[in-house]
Amino acid sequence: MPHPAPYTLLVQHAAQVLTLAGGLTSRPLAGPHLRDWTIIERGYVACVDDIIVAVGAMDDLDLARLGPETRLVDATGCVVMPGLVECHTHLVFGGNRAHEFERKLRGESYLDILAGGGGILSTVRATRAAPEAELLANALHHLDGFRRYGVTTVEAKSGYGLDRDTELRLVRVAREAGRQQPVRVVPTFLGAHVVPPEFREAGPQAYVDFILREVLSDLKGEAAFVDIFCEKGAFPLDVSRYYLEQAHHMGFGLKIHAEQLHDLGGCEMAAALGATSVDHCDYLTPAAATRIAQQTQGQTVAVLLPLVPLFLRQEKYASGREFIDNGLPVAISTDFNPGSCPSKNLWLALSIACLKMGFTPKEAVAAATLNAAWAIGLAADCGSLEPGKRADVLVLNVGSVAEIPYWLGENPVREVIIGGQYQ
Range 131-139, long-range pairs (CB < 8 A, 24+ positions): 132/169, 132/172, 132/173, 134/94, 135/92, 135/93, 135/94, 135/169, 135/170, 135/173, 136/173, 136/176, 136/177, 136/180, 138/92, 138/93, 138/94, 139/91, 139/92, 139/173, 139/174, 139/177
Which residues sit in the known binding site for 4-imidazolone-5-propanoate?
97, 160, 193, 260, 340
pLDDT number for residue 85: 98
Pairwise CA distance, residues 256 & 357, whole Å: 21
Which residues sit in the known binding site for N-formimidoyl-L-glutamate?
160, 337, 339
Helix/strand/coil (H/E/C) assignment for every residue in 249-276: HCCCEEEEEECCCCCCCHHHHHHHCCCC
Q: Is the pLDDT of residue 3 over 80?
A: no
CB 261 within 8 Å of CB 234: no
Which residues sit in the known binding site for Zn(2+)?
88, 90, 257, 335
The architecture of the domain spanning 9-82+382-422 is Roll (2.30)
Q: Is the pLDDT of residue 113 over 90?
A: no
The mean per-residue pLDDT over the stretch 48-71 comes to 97
pLDDT single digits (tens) 235-259: 999 999 999 999 999 999 999 999 9
The mean per-residue pLDDT over the stretch 214-231 comes to 96
Residue 285 DSSP class: -
pLDDT number for residue 240: 98
pLDDT single digits (tens) 16-49: 999 999 877 899 999 999 999 999 999 999 999 9
The mean per-residue pLDDT over the stretch 102-129 comes to 82
Helix axes 164-180, 120-129, angle to 10 degrees: 80
pLDDT number for residue 117: 72
The architecture of the domain spanning 85-375 is Alpha-Beta Barrel (3.20)
Which residues sit in the known binding site for Fe(3+)?
88, 90, 257, 335
pLDDT number for residue 287: 97
What whole-number percentage of the chain has pLDDT above 90? 91
pLDDT single digits (tens) 268-284: 999 999 999 999 999 99
Which residues sit in the known binding site?
88, 90, 97, 160, 193, 257, 260, 335, 337, 339-340
Backbone angles phi, psi at 360, to 5 degrees: -90, 165
Q: Is the pLDDT of residue 1 over 70?
A: no
Q: Band of the pLDDT at 7, cuts 50, 70, 90?
A: very high
- Domain segments of the chain: what residues? 9-82+382-422, 85-375
Q: Is the pLDDT of residue 323 over 90?
A: yes
H/E segment holding residue 85: strand 84-86
Q: Is the pLDDT of residue 110 over 80?
A: no
Q: Band of the pLDDT at 180, cuts 50, 70, 90?
A: very high
9-82+382-422 shares its CATH topology with 85-375: no
pTM for the complete prediction? 0.96
Pairwise CA distance, residues 19 & 383, whole Å: 9
Q: Band of the pLDDT at 108, cuts 50, 70, 90?
A: confident
